[in-house]
Amino acid sequence: MRRPLPRSRLPSAPSSGAAGGVHARRPRRGLTLVELTIAIAIIAVLFSAAVIGIGAVTGAQAKSSAGELAGTIRSLYDTAALSGRTCRIVFEIPSEKEEGTPVRYHAECAQGALTTDKDRERALATEEKAREDAERERDRGRSRRSRDNLEDLMSQERDRIEKAGRFSEYTAPEVKARQLPGSVRIGVWTRNQQKVIRSGPAALYFFPQGVTERAMVFVSQGDTTWTISVAPLTGKTSIAGEELEVPRS
Which tens digits make up the pLDDT trace of 150-196?
A: 566 655 555 555 555 578 899 888 899 999 999 999 999 998 888 99
Regarding whether 108 and 70 lie in a shared domain, the answer is yes
Q: Would 19 be classed as within a structural domain? A: no
Regarding whether 84 and 186 lie in a shared domain, the answer is yes
Regarding whether 157 and 63 lie in a shared domain, the answer is no
- Of the residues 148, 164, 180, the one at which a domain ends: 164
Q: Which is more confidently placed, 126 or 242?
A: 242
Q: Would 21 be classed as within a structural domain? A: no
Regarding whether 235 and 181 lie in a shared domain, the answer is yes
- To which H or E segment does residue 225 belong? strand 224-230
Regarding whether 73 and 153 lie in a shared domain, the answer is no
Domain count, the chain: 2
Bridge-based pairing state of the strands 237-240 and 224-230: antiparallel
- Classify residue 4 by burial, with Cβ atoms within 10 Å: 0-12, 13-18, 19+: exposed
How crowded is the C-beta side of 115, counted as CA atoms within 13 Å?
11
Q: Would 38 be classed as within a structural domain? A: no
Note the pLDDT of residue 7: 53
CATH number at residue 225: 3.55.40.10
Note the pLDDT of residue 181: 93
Regarding whether 140 and 61 lie in a shared domain, the answer is no
- To which H or E segment does residue 120 belong? helix 117-139
Q: Would 249 be classed as within a structural domain? A: no
Q: Which is more confidently placed, 60 or 126?
A: 60
Q: Would 229 be classed as within a structural domain? A: yes
Q: Mean of the per-residue pLDDT values for the chain?
A: 77
Residue closest to 178 by CA, chosen among 59, 73, 58, 49: 73
Regarding whether 139 and 197 lie in a shared domain, the answer is no
Phi-psi region of 158 (alpha: psi -120 to 50; beta: other; left: phi over 0): alpha
Regarding whether 194 and 130 lie in a shared domain, the answer is no
Cβ atoms within 10 Å of 187's Cβ, excluding its own: 21
Q: Would 62 be classed as within a structural domain? A: yes
Residue pLDDT, tens place only, 26-79 = 555 556 777 778 888 888 888 766 555 555 555 899 999 999 999 999 999 999
Note the pLDDT of residue 78: 93
Q: Write down the pTM of the prediction.
A: 0.60
Regarding whether 229 and 127 lie in a shared domain, the answer is no
Regarding whether 236 and 121 lie in a shared domain, the answer is no
Q: Which is more confidently placed, 24 or 229?
A: 229
Regarding whether 133 and 154 lie in a shared domain, the answer is yes
- Of the residues 164, 199, 225, the one at which a domain ends: 164
Domain with 78 in it: 51-113+169-240
Regarding whether 141 and 84 lie in a shared domain, the answer is no
Q: Would 126 be classed as within a structural domain? A: yes
Per-residue DSSP letter, 38? H
Q: Would 89 be classed as within a structural domain? A: yes
Q: DSSP labels for 126-187?
A: HHHHHHHHHHHHHHTT--HHHHHHHHHHHHHHHHHHHHHT-EEEE-BTTB--EE--TTEEEE
